[in-house]
A and B are shown apart, each in its own frame.
Chain A
């Protein structure tokens, strides 16, 4: 069964704007990760945040985690056309990993 659910399902913005995607999950977790997928290709790991962390940065990416609300957000600042992709959150509680259905981000030049 799906654990994470991303919101919105699709997001369209202009280049230079910020993009925020949200992920909600149902059960307690060890880690939450965000992945990116260009159309039909393999997923690429972006960032991992542990359950005892609240915020993490990597370049133009900022991830927050609120375990009390069972939710996470991914912020991409100063977006570029090359950021156009699908973004997935994935949660794990030990050995198996659960992915959400993803947010499709389109950045218009």
Chain B
């Protein structure tokens, strides 16, 4: 089944404790992206990747890192999480270079205490 998976789905952590949210897609898509969703603000793009080893900042990259060593995986890293990073995170992928249909993962709900 074609899909985007994220792990974990739910995470409670404490300020400063490094964490990684994994994202994987099995559709051989070139483009992948991370978003955060906060009430009243819609989705805001954190980072995106056009292809392997090519990543770029979105609207709200501060406090986040990403890597794209393989086409299928695009992990989101929070080196030192803070409470303002409490949010619902979505990974998405789309084929090709043009921003066509994006396929979203199920989301990761993160709470930073």
List chain A positions with a Cβ less than 8 A from chain B.
1-2, 4, 30-31, 33, 35, 40-45, 48, 88, 90, 92, 94-102
Contacts and interface: CB of A to CB of B under 8 A. Distances in A.
A99 B102 contact: no
A101 B102 CA distance: 17
Interface in B34-49: 35, 40-45, 48
22 contacts: A4-B42, A30-B99, A31-B98, A40-B109, A41-B107, A42-B4, A42-B105, A43-B102, A44-B104, A45-B102, A45-B103, A88-B42, A90-B102, A95-B48, A95-B56, A95-B97, A95-B99, A96-B58, A96-B99, A97-B33, A98-B59, A99-B44
Nearest to B100: A48
A44 B107 CA distance: 12
Interface residues of B, number: 29
B101 A99 contact: no
Contacts of A4: 42
Contacts of B40: 101
B95 interface: no
Contacts of B41: 2, 101
A77 B40 CA distance: 26
Contacts of A101: 40-42
A63 B34 CA distance: 26
Contacts, number: 66
Given A30-B99, A45-B101, A97-B99, A102 B42 contact: yes
A43 B104 CA distance: 6
A37 to B, nearest CB: 8
Interface in B78-95: 88, 90, 92
A78 to B, nearest CB: 24
A96 B4 CA distance: 19
B104 A48 contact: no
Given A42-B90, A48-B100, A96-B48, 14 more contacts: A30-B99, A40-B88, A40-B107, A42-B106, A43-B104, A45-B101, A90-B102, A96-B45, A96-B58, A96-B99, A97-B99, A97-B102, A101-B40, A102-B42
